[in-house]
Amino acid sequence: MLKSILFLLMIIFIAVRFICISILIVFGTALPTLVIVFTSLTVLYGVLLAAKKFVLSIRLKEIMWFFTIQAAIVALNLGYMVLIGFPLQLRVSEIITVGTFLDILVAICVTYYVIKHLRRTSSQQVRKIDV
């Protein structure tokens, strides 16, 4: 159940970011190329995980790593934007492409709950073996 919910959340993140990156490429943007490349790599990783899900199967840890990498990329993008002193007047598609602190918070919560779930299930399996 948890895996399917997180997979759908991952698909939503991928779709929204892909649409925003496409809009920025078509209509032009003032964002640094490095930010767009990092976000595109995150989207590409998500697409590869989604393709793997449809061909084979995907583990919960792989979805957790997607959200962890996404949080790191958003933090890197925000840090880079602050470092170069980018102006604060961004369009919505640029804000979604760069990411926000809410993206980082969601990814940290997902990572925490997945680790908690994995520990709980592994301890239950150990108890079954002991009995």
Question: What's the token pair of residue 76?
Answer: 């890197």
Within 8 A by CB and 6+ apart from 101, the residues are 78
Q: Please tell me the predicted confidence (pLDDT) of residue 123.
A: 77
According to DSSP, residue 84 is labeled H
Closest CA to 91 of 39, 19, 36, 24: 24
Q: Are 97 and 20 in contact (CB under 8 A)?
A: yes
Chain segment 90-105, per-residue pLDDT in tens: 788 888 888 889 999 9
Q: Please tell me the predicted confidence (pLDDT) of residue 127.
A: 65
Nearest-angstrom CA–CA distance, 2 and 77: 29
Domain carrying residue 44: 2-130
pLDDT tier at 85 (50, 70, 90 boundaries)? confident
Q: Please tell me the predicted confidence (pLDDT) of residue 81.
A: 86
Nearest-angstrom CA–CA distance, 49 and 57: 9
- Greatest distance between any 2 Cα atoms in the chain: 63
Q: Please tell me the predicted confidence (pLDDT) of residue 129.
A: 63
Nearest-angstrom CA–CA distance, 91 and 42: 21
Q: Please tell me the predicted confidence (pLDDT) of residue 47.
A: 95
Q: For the chain, how many structural domains are there in total?
A: 1
DSSP per residue over 44-55, as a string? HHHHHHHHHHHH
Chain segment 35-84, per-residue pLDDT in tens: 999 999 999 999 999 999 999 889 999 999 999 999 999 999 989 888 88
pLDDT at 130 over 60: no
